[in-house]
Amino acid sequence: MPLEQGTASEHVAEGRARYVAPGVVTPELVVAQAEGARITDVDGRSYIDFAGGIGCQNTGHRHPAVVEAIKEQADRYLHQGFFVGMYEPYVEVCKRLADLSACSGREQRSLLVNAGAEAVENAVKIARVATGRPAVVVFDYAFHGRTLLAMTMTSKVVPYKRGFGPFAPEVYRVPAPYPYRGATSDDAIAALEHLFKADVDPATVACVVLEPVQGEGGFIVMPPDYPARLQEICRKHGIVYVDDEVQSGVGRTGQMWAIEHYDGVEPDLLVSGKSLGGGLPLAAVTGRAELMDAVPSGGLGGTFGGNPLSCAAAIAVLDVVADRDFLARARELGENLRSRLEGMAKNHEGIGEVRGLGPMLALEFVAREPSRAKAVLSAAFERGLVLLSCGLYGNVIRLLPPLTLTDAEADEGLSILEEALVAAGSAD
C-alpha cells in the first residue's frame, strides 16, 4: 500500500521498520496522547492502559502536579550536571527518599541516576566498596536490567542474554521461593546455604539483590517469612541486602515500598526507578550513611543522573504517592482487581494462579509456554486494552495500571480482559 493511503499508525510503523533497530521490540500501538489511565493512538482509537509504560505511571499519565512541576522547572533551567552546578531539586529528592526510606539506619542518603539498571549497578558498586568483597548473589526469575552487570544478574536467556556474553564475573544465582511452582522458603534458604558450601564463600559476598515481588520474572511474590530469613543470613555473614524496588516501589503494591509488607525487614540499600520520575527518567539508590559514604568523592555519578526536570517531577510524584489516601485507594483498587481476576480464574480453564501484592497483580497460565498469553494480549488490544505479559515462560499476564484508575475504568479494562480470555480460547 502506498504511504499516502495507510493509516497514521501504519506510517509510523513503516518508519520504525526502516529506521529503528529491530532489537528494540515494539507493539502495534502508536501513541498520540495519554491522560490518566487512557491512551489515544494516532488514528484516534482510545485504550484503557493496564501497562503504564511498564510500571512507570503509578500516578497516571500526565498527573497535573507532575506536569506543572516539569513546566516550572523548564522555565528555570534544564541540564546542569550535578557536579558542575548543584541544584536544589536533586537534594530535595534525596531528602524525600531519606524520609520515606525502608532501609536500616537512621541517616539515609541517595544517589540519583537515569535508569533502573544503572541504579542496580551502582548499588553493587557501593556494596563492593563498603564490604571490600567482590561477589553478588541473585535469584532465579530475577530481572535487574540490560547493561552488562545487570544483564548478568538477570535470569532470562532469550531475549536478554543470548549472544551478549561474556558476562560479568562473580555473579552467583540461587532459586527464590515460588510457591505456585513448588519452591518454598525452606527450599530457597537450603539452596542459599548450599551455594555457600559449594560455590562461594559467604565471606566474599558483597551483596544479595532481591525483588520483593519479582517483576519481569512473573510477579512472583516473596512469601511472608523469606525476606526476614534472607536478612538474617545477610547479617550473619556481613552481606549487604539490596532491595530492588524498581518495579514494585513508589506505591505499586499499596505501600510506598513493597518491602514494607514484610515485618521486621530493613534492607541495607533500596533501588528505585520507573514511576519515581512520573514519566521522566530517574532512578535512585538509597541507604544508610555508613554504606553510602564508603565510596569516595567522584566514585559515583553520570552526566544526566538526577536531571533537574526528572527531579522536579519526582518531588511531585513522591508528594502524591506518600499521601495516605493515595495508598489506601491503591490497596482498595488492588482488592477490587484481585476479586475480579479470581472470578476469571474460576470461569476460564488453564489459569493456575492469581497472585500479587496489593494492586501489583497477575494471573499465570498453567501451561509454561507463551502462546495463550500472547493471544489474550492481542485480543485485548483489538478491544481497546493495553496489557503486558511477563514470566520466564511468557505465560503470565500482569496488571500495571496507573493507580489513579477509576472504578469505571477498572471495570472497563477487566471486562475487556475477560472478553479477550474468551476470544483467545483455552490453549491448554
Interface with ligand PLP by CB under 6 A: which residues? 54, 115-117, 120, 143-145, 211, 215-216, 244, 246-247, 273
The least distance separating ligand PLP from the CB of residue 338, rounded to whole angstroms, comes to 21
**Residue whose C-alpha is closest to residue 371's, from 357, 354, 350:** 350
145 or 401, CB closer to ligand PLP? 145
In 10 A of CB 360, how many CB atoms? 28
The least distance separating ligand PLP from the CB of residue 268, rounded to whole angstroms, comes to 17
Q: Is 199 left (phi over 0), alpha (psi -120 to 50) or beta?
A: alpha
Q: What angle do CA 4, 9, 12 make, to 5 degrees?
A: 75
202 or 277, CB closer to ligand PLP? 277
The least distance separating ligand PLP from the CB of residue 385, rounded to whole angstroms, comes to 21
The least distance separating ligand PLP from the CB of residue 210, rounded to whole angstroms, comes to 10
145 or 177, CB closer to ligand PLP? 145
**177-216 burial by CB neighbour count: b if 16+ within 10 A, else e?**
bbbeeebebebbbebbeebbeeebebeebbbbbbbbbbbb
Residue 424, H or E segment: helix 407-424
Q: Is 49 helix (H, G, I), strand (E, B) or coil?
A: strand
The least distance separating ligand PLP from the CB of residue 249, rounded to whole angstroms, comes to 9
Bond into 169 cis (ω within 30): no
Q: Which residues contact 207 (CB under 8 A, 6 or more apart)?
A: 123, 124, 127, 128, 131, 136, 137, 239, 240, 241, 242, 268, 269
Q: Are 420 and 385 in contact (CB under 8 A)?
A: yes
Q: CA 72, CA 64: separation in Å to the nearest integer?
A: 12
252 or 340, CB closer to ligand PLP? 252
Residue in the shown chain whose Cβ atom is closest to ligand PLP:
116
202 or 402, CB closer to ligand PLP? 402
1 or 24, CB closer to ligand PLP? 24
202 or 401, CB closer to ligand PLP? 401
Backbone angles phi, psi at 72, to 5 degrees: -60, -40
The least distance separating ligand PLP from the CB of residue 153, rounded to whole angstroms, comes to 9
Q: Which three cell numbers stand for residue 34?
A: 495519554
Q: Are 112 and 311 in contact (CB under 8 A)?
A: yes
146 or 237, CB closer to ligand PLP? 146
Q: Are 149 and 264 in contact (CB under 8 A)?
A: no
The least distance separating ligand PLP from the CB of residue 292, rounded to whole angstroms, comes to 19
The least distance separating ligand PLP from the CB of residue 92, rounded to whole angstroms, comes to 22
Beta bridge partners of 332: none
The least distance separating ligand PLP from the CB of residue 144, rounded to whole angstroms, comes to 5
Task: For the chain, state the CA radius of gyration.
Answer: 21
39 or 242, CB closer to ligand PLP? 242
